[in-house]
Amino acid sequence: MKTREAWKSKLGIIMAVAGSAIGLGNFLRFPVQASQNGGGAFMIPYFISLLLLGLPLMWVEWTIGRFGGGFGHGTAPGVFHNMWTKNRFIKYFGIIGIFGPLVIFIYYTYIESWTFAYAFFSVAEKYSPATTQAGMVSFLKGFQGIEKNNFFSSMQCAYVFFLITFCLNMFVIYKGISGGIEKLCKIALPSLFVFGIILAVRALTLGTPDPAKPDWNIINGLGFLWNPDFSALKSAKVWLAAAGQIFFTLSVGIGVILTYASYLKKTDDVVLSGLTSASANEFAEVLLGSSIVIPVAFAFFGPIEAQAIAKGGAFNLSFITMPLIFQKINLGAFFGCIWFLLLFLAGITSSISLAQPSIAFLEDEFNISKKKAVIIFGAAAFILCQPAIFFLKNGVVNELDFWGGTFCLVLFATVEIVLFGWVFGIEKAWEEIHRGADMRVPKIYKFIIRYVTPLFLFLILGFWMYQEGISTILMKNVSQGDKPYILGTRLMLLGIFIALAILVKIAWGKRKTKVKK
């Protein structure tokens, strides 16, 4: 069996996991979620979710990833099998940890390519003729190929940037764990933080853009985002939103951290490393993410329009509102460029991590070379990306995002926490967490991992099934014209899952044959 790759340094793995966690959601999704769900009051369920859900799952995934790596497994099917050897079906539950990241990758890469394109558009002042919300919406739709207009006659430009972005992802992945992912993250993460700090300082020193409207200023913009509406805490929707944001922001429940941690040595510290990467992510999200987009939108457009902008979602905020703002400030082309470069760096450090579980699965379970695994993954992923590109207007990306980026996260996290705390055994699990650790996890987390986190996850799944499950499955909120595309997307997802199940069966069949010989 070939030697598995390894991280060159402790800093490298921390940077890589932080890079996986710090993505578009930190700078776009978080401020939107906060402003829509009680402002400052949102931080109460947010930090409770971080303590009861995020950190326990972070430590669990680091630990079981390192444990599985000791047996030559870098993905959930193999890791789960080694944690519960008596159950021959548990490896099939692990498929979710490959399926989820792959599904996210096939639409996330396309969105990531938009940020790369807009960085160029900022420097070239390509979107400067669009001076209104409607004009900027038209620019974005023209770029995406949804409509033909004066800006773009086809989606050719978008597709070129997608190809460049896709190839960059494949190049980094091909260079390997230490030579590609670690090197990129050591450059990208510091650059991202520098860009974020520059933008945050510029935002916080903005003052009052329009002297005729003195109340429209950055201080009141921060107040708009953070003034607490404690009545919102009575709503289950707010608590679910906070829990969902923690999943999103820490990249737990995806299977990526598990794979990254499988390249650790058995005595590498997962307690401090997990806490450090989570802290870096929270700094990017809570301090930088909340200081830029919503407060600046308030200062330029006022409270009513800022509320409408927040309700319009993360895409509108980034690709419509922010470009309009950059046109109104000095050195707008520069600030626009570093804003979209920040998003691109956040995106690519996440997307390369999403590809790694599939590639590790091919390498570990079929004993094939990195080159061959990347070629197989690249060819399959490229084909699977096409529906997200060409049927964006028909809701395909939203469908992929729900099943891959929301439902699978909670489901996979539920499976792994129950397996870790109950089947593997909390005493054995606690010992495994602290192997090689320089610090101790507070003992209360022994109780939290065994009882509180699983209960929290079951409640999330239960509330979702009660509130939205049936209507989502029956496509009740999907327009009649889009239903064939959504059905086609679901059939594609089912096909991906079945294909992965067949590959798992083949891999374990080969292993049994070797044992018999």
Only one residue has tokens 């099917």, namely: 77
* Cα 359 off chain centre by: 18
What does the alpha-carbon distance between residue 200 and residue 287 come to, in Å, rounded to a whole number? Answer: 9
Q: Could you tell me if 384 and 101 are in contact, meaning their C-beta atoms sit under 8 angstroms apart?
A: no
What does the alpha-carbon distance between residue 172 and residue 355 come to, in Å, rounded to a whole number? Answer: 11
For the stretch 28-31, contacts whose Cβ atoms lie closer than 8 Å and that sit 24 or more positions apart, written own/partner, are 28/289, 28/293, 28/314, 28/315, 28/317, 28/318, 28/343, 29/245, 29/248, 29/314, 30/245, 30/249, 30/285, 30/286, 30/289, 30/290, 31/225, 31/289, 31/290, 31/292, 31/293, 31/294, 31/310, 31/317
Q: Is the pLDDT of residue 272 over 60?
A: yes
What does the alpha-carbon distance between residue 74 and residue 70 come to, in Å, rounded to a whole number? Answer: 9
Only one residue has tokens 């929290």, namely: 456
Q: Is the pLDDT of residue 294 over 60?
A: yes
Q: Is the pLDDT of residue 468 over 80?
A: no
DSSP 343-397: HHHHHHHHHHHHHHHHHHHHHHHH---HHHHHHHHHHHHHHHHHHHHHTGGGTHH
pLDDT at 279: 93
**Given pLDDT bands bounded at 50, 70 and 90, which one contains residue 447?**
very high
Mean pLDDT of 392-403: 91
121-133, pLDDT tens digit by residue? 999 999 999 989 8
pLDDT at 69: 93
Q: Could you tell me if 237 and 37 are in contact, meaning their C-beta atoms sit under 8 angstroms apart?
A: yes
pLDDT at 89: 92
pLDDT at 142: 94
**Given pLDDT bands bounded at 50, 70 and 90, which one contains residue 242?**
confident
Mean pLDDT of 397-412: 88
**Given pLDDT bands bounded at 50, 70 and 90, which one contains residue 2?**
low
Q: Is the pLDDT of residue 371 over 90?
A: yes
Mean pLDDT of 338-364: 95
Lowest mean pLDDT among 19-28, 75-84, 356-365, 492-501: 19-28
Q: What is the CATH number of domain 10-512?
A: 1.20.1740
Domains of the chain, by residue range, sit at 10-512
Q: Is the pLDDT of residue 1 over 80?
A: no
Q: Is the pLDDT of residue 410 over 90?
A: no
Q: Specify the DSSP element, H or E, that contains 492.
A: helix 483-516
50-103, pLDDT tens digit by residue? 999 999 999 999 999 999 999 989 999 999 999 999 998 999 999 999 999 999
Q: Between residues 359 and 318, which one has the greater pLDDT?
A: 359
Mean pLDDT of 15-32: 87
pLDDT at 417: 95
Mean pLDDT of 268-277: 93
Q: Which two tokens stand for residue 50?
A: 């971080």
Taking the CA atoms of 379, 382, 386 and 388 in sequence, report the sign of the dihedral they define. positive
Mean pLDDT of 225-229: 85
SS3 at position 403 = helix
pLDDT at 90: 94
Residue 303 phi/psi, 5-degree rounding, is -65, -40
Q: Is the pLDDT of residue 147 over 60?
A: yes
Gyration radius of the chain over CA positions? 23
Q: Is the pLDDT of residue 156 over 60?
A: yes
pLDDT at 512: 63
**Given pLDDT bands bounded at 50, 70 and 90, which one contains residue 350?**
very high
Lowest mean pLDDT among 32-36, 392-396, 453-457: 32-36
pLDDT at 513: 62
pLDDT at 464: 76
pLDDT at 297: 86
**Given pLDDT bands bounded at 50, 70 and 90, which one contains residue 229?**
confident
- Exposed/middle/buried for 431, CB within 10 Å: 0-12, 13-18, 19+? exposed
Residue 120 phi/psi, 5-degree rounding, is -70, -40
Q: Could you tell me if 297 and 311 are in contact, meaning their C-beta atoms sit under 8 angstroms apart?
A: no
Mean pLDDT of 229-238: 84
Average pLDDT across the chain, whole number: 90
